[in-house]
Every structure is written in C-alpha cells, then in structure tokens.
Amino acid sequence: MSRPTPSARPVSPALRLLVLGPLAVTAGGVFLSLTFFGGSTDGLFAWRMSPVTAALLGAGYGGSCVMLTLALRARAWEKVRVATAASALFMLLMLGASLLGHRTLHLTGGSLPAFAAAWGWLGVHLAAPLVGLVALGAQWRVAGAKPPRAPRLPWWVAAPVLSSGLTVTATGLLLYALPDAAARRWPWEVRPLDVRVLGAWCLAFGVALLLGWWEAELRRVLGGMAALVVTGLLGLVGLLRNGGLIDWCGPGAWLVVLLLAAFAGLGLSGAGVSWLIDPPEQADGPEVQLQESAGVRPARPA
C-alpha cells in the first residue's frame, strides 16, 4: 500500500481573524469613503486631499479589498502568502508615511469626523504591525507540507511580470523617498503625504508582482491579478470623473494613465495565461494531496 501524501499547510484561523478579515473590511470602508466622498475629505477623512488623489487611493483600496476577500476564501497558505506579504508591507509603509506626514493629518483640529478619522487612521496603522506579528507567528506554527515548486514561468510570461514589477517598485521608491520634489511637478494638487501614500501603493503592487514572478504558478496569485484589474479600471474611471482638475499638458498625467492601464492589462493577461499554462485546479485546503514528484508540473488534460 502506498504511503499517503501529506496535506498542504492550511491558513491559520488567527491569520483570517486578525489580518485578512479586518484588512478586507477596512479596505472596503476606505474605498467607499474616498470614492463617494472624495470631494469632502477636509471634513470627513484623516487629511484633506484632492478629489483626484482620493479617487486613485480609493481605487487602490478597492483592489486590495477584492484581493483580501479572495484570500479569505482560500484554504491553503501558498494561495494567500503573496497577498499577506504585500498587505504587511503596505501597512508598514503607510505607518511610515503617516508618521512622517503627521502634521498633514487632522490630529489637532478640523471637524469632529475628520479629527476622529485621523486618530483612528493613526491608531490602526500603529496596531497593525503588532497584530500582524501575532497572526504570522500563529501561521508559522501551523503544520503542513511544503507545496512543490512549479517549473519557472516561460520567458514570454516572466519577462513582462518581472520588468513591470521592477519598474513599479522603482517608481514607488522614488515617490516615497522624494515626495517634495515629485509634488512640485505633479499634474494635480498634491502634498508630500499624498505623493508618499501613492508611492506606498506603487511599492506594494510592485513587490506583489515580483513575488508573483517568484511563485512561478500564476493561479496562486489570482487575487493579486484581480486587484490589479480593479485598481486599474477604478483609477481610470476616477481620472475621467475628475479630469477638469488635472493638467493634461504635461507628461505626468499620461504616465499615470499608462500605469493604470498597465495594471489592468497585466491582471487580465495574467488571468488568461494562468488558464493556459497552470496545472489543473485541485480542491483547496488541508485535504489537498501533493504530488510526490515535487517540482513536476502535471499535464493539462486534453
């Protein structure tokens, strides 16, 4: 009798309850706030920003909400580790941006909703790293087999993912590190905090693309590809809605359009390519039986 193969490592309940669930709800709330009340951030949000910035940040949070909601449905750790890593990085970057730009937040004045939103914003980002460490520690203790590593992606898939990840990551680093210089040339009204937050989003998406390239199996990062599509499309809609506030004469606005279109295109292309080259989908969760021939991609049925 053949020995049963070990089951894949499941997602820890602590990770679901402390990280994935709360972040999905929070991202959804911020998305709704910035999308439908983007013109009232001075009185309702943690800091005042242009409706254009609010639309783009709302698009990012909308994509993140979709990614985290899909991660909540997954049972195997390898299906959520990229989403978890990208979310953890983003929360740390947002904490740094909030602390560096604390004078911009409504921490000492403004309307009561804005004052409460500013302190709530800062409190959530201060608590998130500690809660995340607890949840990741719990996940680390969950037993399970290491999934087999699929063969590397074909070059015509890996090259666009890798180059896009490096480009978006470098862009995010520049925006995060030099927000004052970027703000002076921005195609709409921004402050350094706005630019640094947009840079944090670029860094999170860029690192997620690089991790997706490293995973080699696109099906494991379908949530991230859905986030790219949602963010790109919502961002483009936001630019159209607020086009009168944007300086379209310079290259900056068109670079933003190109970046959002690239997000949507990468996500859609990745989903399509995944259907063509990834192994057949199996039942997700602890009951998943791993092939003993580790690292060998099973053939797709005819």
What is the token pair recorded at 65?
């909400």
Backbone angles phi, psi at 243, to 5 degrees: -60, -30
User: Per-domain residue ranges for the chain?
Assistant: 13-142+151-277
pLDDT of amino acid 296: 38
Helix (H) or strand (E) holding 54: helix 51-73
| C-beta of residue 160 within 8 angstroms of C-beta of residue 225 | no
pTM: 0.88
CA angle 68, 298, 139 (to 5 degrees): 35
Q: What is the DSSP letter of 130?
A: H
**How far apart are the C-alpha atoms of 300 and 302, rounded to whole Å?**
6
Q: What is the DSSP letter of 19?
A: I
CA angle 97, 34, 128 (to 5 degrees): 40
CA angle 134, 145, 219 (to 5 degrees): 85
pLDDT of amino acid 5: 46
| C-beta of residue 208 within 8 angstroms of C-beta of residue 270 | no
pLDDT of amino acid 155: 82
Residue 60's closest CA among 190, 222, 184, 227? 227
pLDDT of amino acid 145: 73
**How far apart are the C-alpha atoms of 67 and 56, rounded to whole Å?**
17
What is the token pair recorded at 215?
């995973």
Q: What is the DSSP letter of 217?
A: -
**How far apart are the C-alpha atoms of 60 and 235, rounded to whole Å?**
8
Give average pLDDT by consecutive 10-residue segment, the chain, 302 residues: 60 94 96 95 96 97 96 90 94 96 93 95 95 93 75 81 95 96 95 97 95 84 92 97 95 95 92 74 44 38 36
